[in-house]
């Protein structure tokens, strides 16, 4: 911010023959069905199945040589349409949370919170993806990809239409219908990798999770009126 796969669903000779004839047809039918669905539509379908999600996130920021610049542990929560919660636990505590109207950036080490108006159309790529904002994604990226591992997962590649984009390529991996990782190749050679664990999908999340109440005795920088 200001500051990340579908399990394919022999006794007698006759039954063996029938199986040999039917299975290829089923496989072909599945392949044809996917061929008729554009990658962007499939990605929208997968992301669109999520109303709420809670997950642990491992974030790696890597240099072009592959060396790790920073590794972070993050708590992530989302509630559509606009609830977004991204709390870095380690190494440097920080909370970024929005209810779709206001954005709070709390930095406990600095005893400071910055409050700003939230603009979904101008949010970072991760928030657009995780909130399923496919209109913005379709407008800014070419989307390719499809089924991998014999249909057990999905892989999508997003490449920016604007040469001046901050990103060179974004890759999303799904295991079944579950998002497992996002890999961002930045234009400066650095790469960011988000790996999602311990998913809880479509369980109730109170709206209050996405509203931050500043603790006492911290500095409040309120830019919400700007």
Residue at 29 is within a domain: no
Residue at 99 is within a domain: yes
Q: What is the pLDDT of residue 55?
A: 95
Which CATH number do you get for residue 64? 2.50.20.10
Residue at 45 is within a domain: yes
Average pLDDT of the segment spanning 115-121:
83
In this model, does residue 91 exceed pLDDT 90? yes
**Distance of alpha carbon 43 from alpha carbon 3, whole angstroms:** 26
What's the predicted TM-score (pTM) here?
0.77
In this model, does residue 67 exceed pLDDT 80? yes
- Cα atoms in the Cβ-side hemisphere of radius 13 Å centred on 222: 6
Q: What is the pLDDT of residue 189?
A: 85
Residue at 34 is within a domain: no
Residue at 149 is within a domain: yes
For residue 91, give its domain range.
Answer: 39-222
Average pLDDT of the segment spanning 37-61:
92
Residue at 164 is within a domain: yes
Average pLDDT of the segment spanning 194-208:
94
Q: How many domains does the chain have?
A: 1
Q: What is the pLDDT of residue 22?
A: 31
Q: What is the pLDDT of residue 12?
A: 31
Q: What is the pLDDT of residue 21?
A: 28
Mean model confidence pLDDT for the chain = 81
**Could you tell me which residue, 132 or 210, shows the higher pLDDT?**
210
Residue at 9 is within a domain: no
In this model, does residue 30 exceed pLDDT 60? no
Residue at 200 is within a domain: yes
In this model, does residue 47 exceed pLDDT 60? yes
Average pLDDT of the segment spanning 143-169:
90
**Could you tell me which residue, 19 or 180, shows the higher pLDDT?**
180
Q: What is the pLDDT of residue 79?
A: 93
In this model, does residue 41 exceed pLDDT 70? yes
**Distance of alpha carbon 198 from alpha carbon 196, whole angstroms:** 7
In this model, does residue 192 exceed pLDDT 50? yes
Q: What is the pLDDT of residue 132?
A: 77
């Amino acid at each position: 911010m200001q500051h990340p796969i579908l399990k394919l669903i022999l006794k007698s000779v006759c039954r063996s023959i029938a199986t040999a004839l039917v299975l290829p047809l089923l496989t072909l039918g599945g392949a044809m069905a996917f061929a008729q669905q554009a990658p962007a539509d499939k990605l929208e379908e997968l992301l669109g199945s999520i109303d709420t999600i809670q997950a642990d996130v491992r974030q790696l920021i890597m240099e072009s040589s592959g060396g790790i610049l920073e590794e972070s542990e993050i708590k992530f929560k989302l509630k559509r349409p606009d609830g977004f919660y991204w709390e870095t636990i380690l190494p440097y505590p920080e909370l970024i949370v929005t209810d779709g109207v206001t954005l709070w950036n709390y930095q406990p080490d600095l005893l400071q919170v910055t409050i700003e108006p939230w603009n979904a159309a101008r949010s970072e790529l991760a928030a657009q993806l995780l909130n399923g904002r496919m209109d913005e994604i379709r407008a800014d990226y070419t989307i390719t990809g499809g089924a991998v591992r014999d249909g057990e997962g999905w892989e999508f590649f997003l490449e920016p239409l604007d040469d001046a984009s901050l990103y060179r390529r974004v890759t999303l991996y799904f295991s079944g219908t579950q998002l497992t990782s996002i890999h961002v190749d930045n234009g400066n050679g650095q790469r960011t990798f988000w790996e999602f664990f311990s998913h809880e999908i479509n369980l109730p999340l109170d709206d209050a999770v996405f509203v931050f109440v500043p603790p006492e005795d911290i500095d409040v920088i309120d830019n919400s009126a700007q």
